[in-house]
Structure 1
Amino acid sequence: MNRRTLTPLALAGLLASTLAACSGGMSGKEGSGGTIVVGTTARVAVTEDTPAPFDPAASYDDSSWNIMRNTFQTLLRPPRTGTEPVTDAAEKCGFTDKRNEQYSCTLRDGLTFSNGNKLNAEDVEFSLERLLLIDFKGGPASLFSNVDEVEAEAGNKVVFHLKKPDATFPYKLATPAASIVDSQTYPADRLAKGFKGTGSGPYVLDDFDAKRRKVLLSGNPDYQGASQAKSQKIELRFFNSSKSLQKALDSGDVDLMNGGVSSRYIEQLEKDRDDQIKLVEQPGQAVRYLVFDTEDETVGQRAVRQAFAQVIDRKQLVSTVYPRTAEPLFSVVPGGLVGHTNSFFNEYGEPDEKAAKRTLRKADVKTPVRLSLHYPQVGKGGSGAKEFALLEKQLNGSGLFDASVEIEPPTSYSTASLRGEYQVYGFAWLPDFPDADNFIAPFFAKDNVLNSPYSSKEIREELIPETRREPERADASENFARAQDIVADDVPVLPLWQGKQYVAAHDDITGVEWALNSSSLLQLWELDRGVSS
C-alpha cells in the first residue's frame, strides 16, 4: 500500500535517508504564534514507490494521505462518529436506482481551489478519470475499478455509473483517493511530481521543509465545506524514532504526538496522573499480515502455509513485542467491524506443532521447510526487528521449519513485494474505510493491491459482488464470514495482530479525541489551543 497496502512495518511512510536529523524548529509552547505542532514518526519522501507523494492518482501511503486529507476536498468525508460518510464538497449525494449502480452528487456553491480557480463538476469528472487513466501501480485506482463512466451534468451535478452494484461506493468517495484536483493545473495523463499540491481542503500546504523535516499548513480562507479549521496554523514535524518524539512531547517541543506511542510510554503516562499530558486511546483497525507468494515452489504449497499458521503463536507475539498496543488477530477482517469472525482460530485453534507436523506429513512435505521472511528496515532496531526475530524463533523452534529473516530497503520494499520477489513478507494495512469489504476485496479481487497470484473464484465472482449488493451491511455478514473461512483454509495471507490507536497531547490542546478518524487519518481541523490545567 503504497498505503494501506505495502506500508512499512512501523505503519510509517518514508523520509529520504539523506535528510538531516530534526534540529531546532519552533516550540509547541513558545514562539509559535498559535501554531499547533504535531509530531509523528510517519514520513514522506519521493522514492521509487512514491514518486509523487501528494498526487491523489499515485499516493496510497498513510503519510501522504494524512496531508491530502487536510488539504484536498472530497465529495464526502468520514463522520465524526459512526461509519456513514457525510457531505464535504457535495451538498447532497445518493444512489438514484434500486440496484446501487448509479450514484449522483450535487456540489456546493462557491467552491474554489487554493489557487483561486473555481471547482465544479468537470473537475470531479476529470479527477476520477485521471486516476483511472494513470492507474499507477500500487496506487489507489483499484478502489474505483468498478466505475464505468463519470458524467458532469448541468447544475454542478456529477453522476457515477458503476459496472456492478456497490453499496460501499460512498465510502470510497470519502477517501483521499477521490480527492478533487484542479483540471487546469494537473496533467491529465501523468503524475504531478514533487511536494506541491493544489486542493480546496480546510488547509493549504504552505511549505514542505525537507531539511528541517516539517510541513507547514495554514487555514484555507476560501474553504467551503463541513470541516472548518479551528486552528489556523499547523506544523507537522517528523521524527526518526518513538523515543525522540516522546522526548519532544515531554519537553513541550511538540503539542501532540500521533504514532510511535510505545507500551512503555503509555504505562508512564498512566502512572503520572498529575502530568499535563493526556492520553486518548481508541479502537484501531490497523492490521498486520504475512503475505505468501502462492506461486513459490515452497510456500506455494498450501500444506506449508497451513502448517505455518498452526505454529505461529500470536498471543506470545503481541505480549512480547506489542503489549498494550495490539491484540491477536485471527481473521483478515479485524474485530469491531460488522462481519468479523475468528476464522483462523476456528480452523487451527491454539498453536499446535504436532498438528502442523501431521499437516506436512500428509502432504509429503519434507522437513525442515526452508523459507525466508522479509520486512523493511525502518530505523535501527524497533518493533519490526523484534517481531520478525520472534516469528523466526517460533518457526524454527518447532523443528518443522528452517526460516531466515531478510531485512529489505524501505525505499523499494513495496515495489519488490508487488514483483513477487519475496517468499513471505510483512504487510501492514490501514483501512480506506470502515467496512469488512475493505479487508477482503483489495486483496482477493482481480487486480488486487498485492498483485497476488492467489485467486478464489468463489470470493472473487460470488462473495464480493453479493456483499456489495447489500445496502444494510449487517445483511452481508454471512457472505463475509464465508470469505474469511476460505482465506483461513487456503492461507494466502496470515493475520497476526490488530493495533490500537493512541494520541498523546498536552492538556491545553482541544479536539484530541476527534484527531483521528476510523481509518487512522489525522483530522487536523479538529485541533485548537485552550487553557492548560
Structure 2
Amino acid sequence: MTSRRARARVLGWLAVSVLLLAGCTEPAPPPPAPPPGSPTPTPRPYLTVGTTDRFTQPDPAGVTTQASSGLAYTVFQRLMTVPAVGPDEVPVLKPEAARECVVSSPTTYECTLNEGMTFHNGHELTSSDVKFSIERALRLDVDGTAVPLLSTLRRIETPDELTVRFVLNRPDNQFGFALATPAASIVDEEVYDPDELRPIEQTVVGSGPYRVSELGTDEVRFDRFARYVGPAGGREQTLLVRSFADSGNLEQAMTDRQVDAVWRGLGSAARTRLTTQVESSTDGRSDSGFAPTEIPGARVHRLWWSPTSPARENAAVRVAVRDSLQGERILDSIVPPTVWGYAPAFEVGGEPTTEPRPRRTRLVLSYDSTVPDGEDLANVVRSRLEDGGDLSVQITPDLAEADLFLLDEKAWTSTPSAWLQRYLEHPAPGSTTRVGELMDRYRASTVPEESEGLLSELQQQAAADAVLVPIAQAPEQIWLAQGVTWVPASFGPGHQLTLSGLGRG
C-alpha cells in the first residue's frame, strides 16, 4: 500500500509537467497586468465561479461532458450519491433523494424516497417521476452518457408513491453506483418529453439544491432552492458560473477581481506563475488574492480510438499508437492508481520496439479546445506517434468525427466500472465476448479478492486491445479568493465540481 500511495503521488506531480516539458517549446505568455491597488475590493453581490468549461447540455439524459455533469449534479437529484474519495479510499454509496435503498435479492434493488420532495416548479416528486426519468434515459440512449452503467436493468416497479423497485436481469453489485450518475437524474414527467431531449432554451426543472434562473452562452445563474430535501443544501442565495474563452482571459478575470473561485481553465504557464506568487507570499495567496487547493489525481488524460475509425480495425496500427507513447506514458492503466481495483497493465518508459508497416497510416486527432493545455498535449501526442514511424497525424480541435480523441475527463463515479466504461462499450474486435463475461462475473462477485482479480484481467485485456490508451494523471486545482470556502460536497462522485459546497465565510 505504501508503494502504491507513493507511486500515485509521483504520478500526480509528474503527469502534465513531463509531457509539456518534453514536447512543448512555445514560450510562456506574459503575465497579465498587475492587480488594482486596493487589496480589499468591494465584493460582488453574487459569488462567481470562473472556468473555460461550458454547459452544453442541461438535460441530464444527454449529459456527456464534465461541465454539463456538474450542472446535473447541482440542479437535479438522484436516488443515491457517492461522496468523492481520496487515493486508495473505497467509494461508499449514500442516499440522496432516497431515504434508503436496500438489496432485497441478488436481482432486486429497492429504494424508499424522502417524503415531501418537490421540483423547482412546485410539482410533487414521486416514484413515478423516478421510473419515468430512468426509462427515458434508457430509451434515448445518448452515446457518451452514463446510460450503459444501467444495462442490467430489466424493469422498474412503483408499488406506491414513495417506493421504487428495480428488477435486474442478472446480479449487479455496481447498480447502486449507476443510480448516482447524471443518467439517473430525476426529472419532472409532467414537463420533460419522454422521447426527446429538452431544448436548451426551455426551462431546466430539477429538485436539486440550486435551480437555474438564467442560462446564457457564457454565464449561468443559479438560485438556491429553499424546498430542497437532501444531504447537501446550497450555501449561497445566488451563484454565477462564467465561462471564459481561454486561460489568459480567466487569469485576467482573477487579476481584475471578476471571479471568486476558479475551476479548470488555467493553463500550465498560468498555474506556474500563480503558484510562484503563492510560494513567495506571506499569506499563501497569489498577487490577486487567490489560494489553491489540489484534488489529487482528479485530472486524467487518455487517448481514445473512435469506434467508427477505419484504422481502428487494424490491430498493428493500434499497437503502434500504444507503443509510440510508451516512453512518455506516466499512467499505466485505464483505471487510475488512485481508484480501488487498479492494476498496472501498460508498459511505461523505455524504448518500445515498433514493427515497420508496408504503408503509412494517416490519422486525425481531435481534442476539446476548452481543456487547459489541450493543444499543447495534442502536439506532444502527435510528435510521439509520428516519431514512431509510419504514422501521419493531423490535429483538428472539437471534431465530432476523428480517428483519435485526446480525453481530459473524469469518470461518472470513482469506481473501476465507471473508468472502464468506454472500453467496455467498445472493446477491440474479437474481445467482446471475453470482456462481457469478465464484467458479468465482476458484477456478480461478492468476494473482494475475486473482484480484484477480475478487474486486473479486464485491465490487462484493455492493454492488449489498445483502443483506450492511458497517458497521464495529475491533480486538479480549485483557486479561491479570500473569504470563499468549499467543503467536500463541492464535488460530485467523480470529482465533478458542483456548487452546493461553495460559499462565503
Structure 1 length-normalised TM: 0.79
**Structure 1 residues 277-329: Cα deviation after superposition (integer angstroms, max 9, x where no partner):** 211001234432223357866553323322332222553x7xxxxxxxxxx21
In 1: Cα distance, 2:386 partner to 2:49 partner: 42
Query: Does the C-alpha gap of structure 1 residues 407 and 488 become closer, same or farther in structure 2, counting only changes over 3 Å?
Result: same
How far residue 388 of structure 1 moved from its aligned partner, in angstroms, is 2.4
How far residue 428 of structure 1 moved from its aligned partner, in angstroms, is: 3.6
1:329 — aligned with what?
331
Q: Equivalent of 1:469, from 441, 444, 450?
A: 444
Structure-2 change in CA distance of 1:473 and 1:239 (3 Å): farther
Matched, 1:63 2:67: yes
CA distance in 2 between counterparts of 1:156 and 1:515 reads 28
Cα pair distance change 1:402/1:127, threshold 3 Å: closer
1:281 matched residue in structure 2 = 294
- State yes or no: 1:154 paired with 2:129: no
1:311 aligns with 2:302: no
1:495 is matched with: 470
Q: Which residue of structure 2 aligns with residue 74 of structure 1? A: 78
After TM superposition, the structure 1 = structure 2 runs for residues 91-170 of structure 1, keeping only pairs within 5 Å, are 91-97=99-105, 99=106, 101-154=107-160, 156-170=162-176
Deviation (angstroms), 1:351: 3.8
Within 5 Å, which residues of 2 pair with 1:14-29? Answer: none
Q: Is the 8 A contact 1:261 1:503 kept in 2?
A: no
**Ranges in structure 1 where 5+ consecutive residues have no aligned partner:** 1-27, 46-52, 318-327, 417-421
Matches within 5 A, 1:380-459: 383-398=373-388, 400-408=389-397, 410=398, 413-414=399-400, 416=401, 422-440=402-420, 442-445=421-424, 448=425, 454-457=429-432, 459=434
Q: Which residue of 1 aligns with 2:49?
A: 38
Compared with structure 1, are the counterparts of its residues 263 and 516 closer, same or farther at alpha carbon in structure 2 (3 Å cutoff)? farther
Question: Contact (CA 8 Å) 1:38, 1:237: kept in 2 or not?
Answer: yes
CA distance in 2, matches of 1:144, 1:407: 33
SS at match of 2:138: helix
* Aligned residue in 2 for 1:87: 95
Q: Find the residue that maps to 2:297 and give its secondary structure.
A: coil
Write the distance in 2 (CA, Å) between the matches of 1:220 and 1:471.
Answer: 40
Distance change >3 Å, CA 298–CA 39, structure 1 → 2: closer
Matched, 1:366 2:358: yes
Q: TM-score, normalised by structure 2?
A: 0.83
Aligned equivalents of 2:267, 2:449: Cα separation in 1: 35
Cα deviation, residue 175, structure 1: 1.5
What residue number does 1:356 align with? Answer: 354
Distance 2:43 2:455 in 1: 53
Q: Which residue of 2 aligns with 1:206?
A: 213
Q: 149-158 or 279-288, which moves further after superposition?
A: 279-288
Conservation of the 8 A alpha-carbon contact between 2:52 and 2:265: yes
CA shift, 1:424, in A, is 3.0
Aligned length: 454
**2:75–2:207 CA contact under 8 A, matched in 1:** yes
* Secondary structure of residue in 2 paired with 1:430: coil
Q: Which moved more, 1:456-465 or 1:101-110?
A: 456-465
Q: Where does residue 241 of structure 2 map in the other structure?
A: 236
Gaps of 5+ in 2: 1-39
Contact preservation (8 Å) 1:280, 1:512: no
Q: 2:195 aligns with which of 185, 189, 197?
A: 189
CA shift in 2, pair 1:515/1:29, >3 Å: farther
Between the aligned partners of 2:170 and 2:147, the Cα distance in structure 1 is 16
Give the root-mean-square deviation of aligned CA atoms.
2.6
SS in 2 for 1:240: coil
1:475 to 1:493, Cα distance in 2 relative to 1, 3 A = same
- 2 CA distance for matches of 1:484 and 1:516? 27
What amino acid is the match of 2:48? Answer: V
Answer yes or no: is the 8 Å Cα contact 1:110–1:224 preserved in 2.
yes
Percent identity over the alignment is 24
**CA distance, structure 1, for counterparts of residue 232 and residue 308 of structure 2:** 46
Give per-residue Cα distances to partners, 1:241-289, cap 9 Å, x unaligned.
1221122123321000000233333333342433332110012344322
Answer yes or no: is 1:217 the counterpart of 2:222: yes
**C-alpha deviation, 1:240, in angstroms:** 0.7
